Amino acid sequence: MNLSVENICVKFGEKEILRGVTCNFPKKKRTAIIGPNGAGKSTLLKVLCLLNENFSGRVTLDGGDIRELGRKKVSQVIAILPQEKDAPQDTTVRQLASFGRFPHRKFFGGTTAEDTRAVDWALDVTKLKNFEDRQVASLSGGERQRAWLAMTLAQQPKILLLDEPTTYLDIAHQLDVMEIISHVNKNFGMTIVMVLHDINHARIYSDEVVVVKGGEIFATGEPKKILTAATVEKIFDVRADVFKNSDGVEMVIPLRA
């Protein structure tokens, strides 16, 4: 499903968080939303799935207004992994993943064979099948993030939203998460929209970049064309340079403020 926003505006009191935001998130592609802290990135992500309904403008799925679908129907199509997450202390990995099936269950319905298949698939994709009986609280930071990711994947959405999915993770676990995200996009056609802070993750793991600055769209396009040294300086007010790594991949390296 094609996801778009048209003239989105969000205010908190007198403060304008988003102002006239219009952009498209292409079907079956990976889009990275980047920009300075406080630019409105997380707010935009919440608007996309109606977690924040305090906005003017339109969010559309295949041209239809998302507000007409309602939250339950939206949650069957769009899943979000927010920054702030919490679960009861004794929750196991499998139980957490199964929470992702709630949007698909009937009011008095129990667990179905389809629910079980979806949870099994999500645990396999996130490499957590051997951890399914472990308590989430006992996991390392990287394992815990993959458990939360399994929950969103068990939801079997068409569109997956991720708010800074690699924050607080070490380098190896960051790469694990980014590879899983790319895997479900490539092999299962899942549309990905993710807020990222790492410029090079955005360059390597996305097909499109949306740059938000000061509550407005600053630039959109292909990562390599948008995330140049000159543009990064304009976005973040830092001096940067571009180098090729040992694989011949260009990387943006911040030099100084």
Say what the pLDDT of residue 107 is: 66
Q: Are 190 and 184 in contact (CB under 8 A)?
A: yes
Q: What pLDDT, on the 0 to 100 scale, is given for residue 72? A: 86
C-alpha count within 13 angstroms, C-beta hemisphere, residue 19:
10
Domains annotated for the chain, with CATH where assigned, are: 3-226 (3.40.50.300), 227-257 (no CATH)
pLDDT at 33: 98
pLDDT tens digits for the chain (257 residues)?
889 999 999 999 989 999 999 999 999 999 999 999 999 999 999 999 999 999 999 999 999 999 998 888 999 999 999 998 888 889 999 999 999 999 888 766 678 999 999 999 999 999 999 999 999 999 999 999 999 999 999 999 999 999 999 999 999 999 999 999 999 999 999 999 999 999 999 999 999 999 999 999 999 999 999 999 999 999 999 999 999 989 898 999 999 88
Q: Tokens 């009986």 sit at which residue? A: 133
CA 24 – CA 26 distance, rounded (Å): 6
pLDDT at residue number 38: 93
Q: Give the pTM.
A: 0.95
Three-class DSSP category at 3 = strand
Whole-angstrom distance, CA of residue 66 vs CA of residue 174: 32
Give CA–CA dist 119/145, Å, rounded: 16
Helix (H) / strand (E) element for 199: namely helix 199-205
Tokens found for residue 50:
């109606």
